Amino acid sequence: MLACMISPLEMILRTGELHRLFMYFLKLLFHFWLYALRATLTHARRQHSLSPKQNRLMCMQALWSKIFPIKILTYS
């Protein structure tokens, strides 16, 4: 009788499914972030014909803007 009184949320918490779902969500979020970063870097490389040094600088700026979304001012 008591077994049917347990809610589905309690069953999820007891079996550890919530932790597994949360870890799956984090993994999915990380893979989406990597895909967005790769697309940004590819677009930056294709859009400009730059020297290798300028290309590395642009890739690093794109990387940092994805990690820390703060506008970086550069002076040339």
pLDDT of 45-59, one tens digit each? 676 676 777 777 777
Mean pLDDT of all residues in the chain? 71
Residue 37 lies in a domain: yes
pLDDT attached to residue 62: 72
User: What pLDDT does residue 76 have?
Assistant: 47
Provide the domain limits for residue 49: 3-67
Q: Are 40 and 64 in contact (CB under 8 A)?
A: no
pTM for the structure as a whole = 0.44
In a domain, 20, yes or no: yes
Any domain includes 48: yes
Q: What angle do CA 61, 62, 66 make, to 5 degrees?
A: 115
The answer to whether residue 74 scores a pLDDT higher than 60 is: no
